Amino acid sequence: MSERDLKDSEIYRSRIKGWDWELLGFLLLLCVAFFAFFKTRATLANYGCAWVEQNSMNRTLDDGDALLMRLAGTGKQAQRGDVIIVNVQGYEECGNIDYLIKRLIATGGDKVRCQDGQVEIWKAEGDGWEVLNEPYAYYGENDEYKTHYDFGIYEVGEGEIFFLGDNRSGALSSVDSRYEEQFGSHLQDSLYKESDIYGIVSQNTIEYKGFWTGYFTVMRSIEEFFKSCFGI
């Protein structure tokens, strides 16, 4: 059989046809990824990704989790009990850490303390101490560290916030608003500011953190691909 006859044969045409479908499928997949990448960037203009590092939010969040966060100032303000991302650049006790992910406990006008391992709050609109229900707080196996977690009263001024890590299983388990208890002296003359809140993570996002971790891992890979190929 000549080369011309071979090219005209059904075997050759089926191989070419199959290769065309593979190429078309690859190009279609590339177009979908390209569209999804830029569509997501436009749709999520008021949102961002928060990657969890270390274990100060165990067992709510784990090292390596990725979460969808709403950027501060693009919706309703953070409320007590929300998980927040705080910009701590410039705070001495945070060293080279730029952002913390913590639990917002108290806001301007509140008072907060911890007695016998139980966090209590006197809300700005309240008239007495209220015990916080904190199913997210982890004090170690069988709450072994709970009785050692006490701290004195913090008065939260207007425009200030008080936050804690969910992981409370040791003295240095979390860098948070308890600066005197952690470091033995005041490294700052006031609490962190409400304006330091960079993002807010919804409870729904936390419940589906596995999905968001997978999603942002894929999107990061796509972004790196386009950056390496097209410089964008």
Residue 6's pLDDT is 43
Is residue 13 included in any domain, yes or no? Answer: no
What's the CATH code of the domain at 177?
Answer: 2.10.109
Is residue 177 included in any domain, yes or no? Answer: yes
Residue 72's closest CA among 167, 178, 199, 164? 199
Evaluate whether 106 touches 162 at the Cβ level (below 8 Å): yes
Is residue 30 included in any domain, yes or no? Answer: no
Type of residue found at 103: R
Is residue 6 included in any domain, yes or no? Answer: no
- Encode pLDDT of 151-169 as tens digits: 999 999 999 999 999 999 9
Range(s) of the domain holding residue 184: 79-198
Helix axis angle, 209-230 to 10-43, nearest 10°: 110
Distances (CA, A) of 30 to 27, 82, 115, 157: 5, 38, 58, 52
Is residue 213 included in any domain, yes or no? Answer: no
Is residue 209 included in any domain, yes or no? Answer: no
- Encode pLDDT of 191-232 as tens digits: 899 999 999 999 999 999 999 999 999 988 888 877 788 765
Residue 65's pLDDT is 97
Average pLDDT of every residue of the chain: 84
Is residue 232 included in any domain, yes or no? Answer: no
Share of the chain above pLDDT 90, in %: 57
DSSP 8-state symbol, 77: P
What's this model's pTM, rounded to 2 decimal places? Answer: 0.78
Strand order across the beta sheet in which 161-164 lies = 47-51, 66-71, 197-201, 83-87, 99-107, 161-164
Is residue 21 included in any domain, yes or no? Answer: no
Residue 162's pLDDT is 96
Tally of domains in the chain: 1
